[in-house]
Structure 1
Amino acid sequence: MRTYLLFFLIVVYVNYAFSKIEPEELKCLVCEQSINEMKQAINSIDPSKKVDVGGYHLDADGNYRSSKVISAAQSEVLLSEMIDQICDKMENYVRATWKSNGTLTLLNLLDSSGAMNSKMSEVDIIQDDDLNKSLQYYCSSIMEENEDAVIEYFRDNKDGLICSQIGLCGRRYVKEDL
């Protein structure tokens, strides 16, 4: 009887120990999903929309000259506004693990058309005490702390994984499919 009790306690402890979510991994996933949401929002901007940037000077004749015209998707003002709004989308995300391999993921409950995400049957939702409010909190803190780097990343159309570049995703958490 004691052997069964001991075995049961070990199984419960191991299950509990491996079911805990590492905050670093969660921050990495939140960063990646936030950047993906930013990419989708930027891709929805009309490419023909342009913005005047730079110094606004008058020439000797009193005519207005702007220094440069860029795509609206590269405007620092627009990117900053998007960063401020992007974390609101995290309320549609939940923590989950893939049934196939147990890997932690953040899953958007809704697909792009507003219907229930078809991948819901492929994951196990993780119930948490804060009703996933921490996802918005992590997003806000990540975007606040790294706003300049994120703006530069999108403004300059840089390559690579920005979440790794700003130190949120170590090699252990980097996804290959991004």
Structure 2
Amino acid sequence: MNIAWVFVVGCLLLADAEAKKKSKKGAKEIFNSETLKCLVCQSLVEEINFAIDKVDPKKKVETGTFRLNGDGTQNRVVVPYARSEGHLMEVVENVCKNFEDYAQAKYKASGKPTIIRITTPEGNMNPKMGEVDMVPDDDLNTRLKFYCENIVEDQEDEIMKIFSKSIQNPDIELCGKRTGLCKDLSPPQEEYNFENDEL
């Protein structure tokens, strides 16, 4: 009876090891570098938008030159601080540190890959954690920060142009149109209202 028990335990351990191998292989397939770069780019846009939105809209900064014109005036303009060059440069310089708080996951409902912030920017547990299953990463998610740093380094000028103005769908503009990191991004569809349809 002892031999049978050892055989059963051995089979269970072997099956568990095979399942773990398949799970790791499956995770690597859905979290390839192309997918991760797209997800990181979209999260980067969210992080920058959050940093802009948390600034008091009444806060202004004076920009322009200190040179005097021939008539003794200066070309100075007062602009909202949130989208000023100085603030955006500070945000872009520090935004990738936030990716230390991200992890790879799959949506429970669809199985679609995503990356999710473990805690909210305020420090609370992310309420969306219940919607996903975490996917372990051998690199402890250091790739996410690495990809963010690469995007920021390569696209800093584009990021500054996009976020200096308040444009709709900055994720599509940056991650789709300007970088090509996300192939399937499209603007959200407006819901069609059948009640207003005339026959």
TM-score clears 0.5? yes
Q: CA deviation at 1:53?
A: 1.7
Length, aligned pairs only: 166
Higher helix share: 2
After superposition, the CA RMSD in angstroms is 2.6
Q: Among residues 30, 51, 60, which one is paired with 2:61 in the alignment?
A: 51
Structure-to-structure mapping, 1:84-103, within 5 angstroms = 84-103=93-112
Letter in structure 2 aligned against 1:168: L
Structure-to-structure mapping, 1:55-134, within 5 angstroms = 55-59=65-69, 65-134=74-143
Task: Please give the alpha-carbon distance, in whole angstroms, between the structure 2 residues aligned to 1:64 and 1:119.
Answer: 53
Q: CA deviation at 1:163?
A: 1.1
Q: CA deviation at 1:47?
A: 1.3
Percent of residue pairs identical: 34
Q: Among residues 144, 163, 169, which one is paired with 2:175 in the alignment?
A: 163
Letter in structure 2 aligned against 1:36: E
Task: Please give the alpha-carbon distance, in whole angstroms, between the structure 1 residues aligned to 2:150 and 2:58.
Answer: 33
Letter in structure 1 aligned against 2:181: L
Most deviating of 42-51 and 134-143: 42-51
Q: CA deviation at 1:15?
A: 6.2
Q: Among residues 152, 155, 166, which one is paired with 1:143 in the alignment?
A: 152
Instruction: Extract unaligned runs of 5+ from structure 2.
Output: 1-14, 190-199
- CA shift in 2, pair 1:134/1:119, >3 Å: same
Task: Please give the alpha-carbon distance, in whole angstroms, between the structure 1 residues aligned to 2:148 and 2:24.
Answer: 26
Instruction: Extract unaligned runs of 5+ from structure 1.
Output: 1-7
TM-score, length-normalised on structure 2?
0.73
Task: Please give the alpha-carbon distance, in whole angstroms, between the structure 1 residues aligned to 2:120 and 2:24.
Answer: 31
- CA shift in 2, pair 1:174/1:124, >3 Å: farther
Larger radius of gyration between Structure 1 and Structure 2: 2
Task: Please give the alpha-carbon distance, in whole angstroms, between the structure 2 residues aligned to 1:81 and 1:28.
Answer: 23
SS at structure 1 position matched to 2:45:
helix
Task: Please give the alpha-carbon distance, in whole angstroms, between the structure 1 residues aligned to 2:61 and 2:73.
Answer: 15
Q: CA deviation at 1:89?
A: 0.6
TM-score, length-normalised on structure 1?
0.81
After the TM superposition, which segments of 4 or more aligned residues of structure 1 sit over 4 Å from their partners? Answer: 11-18, 173-177
- CA shift in 2, pair 1:57/1:39, >3 Å: same
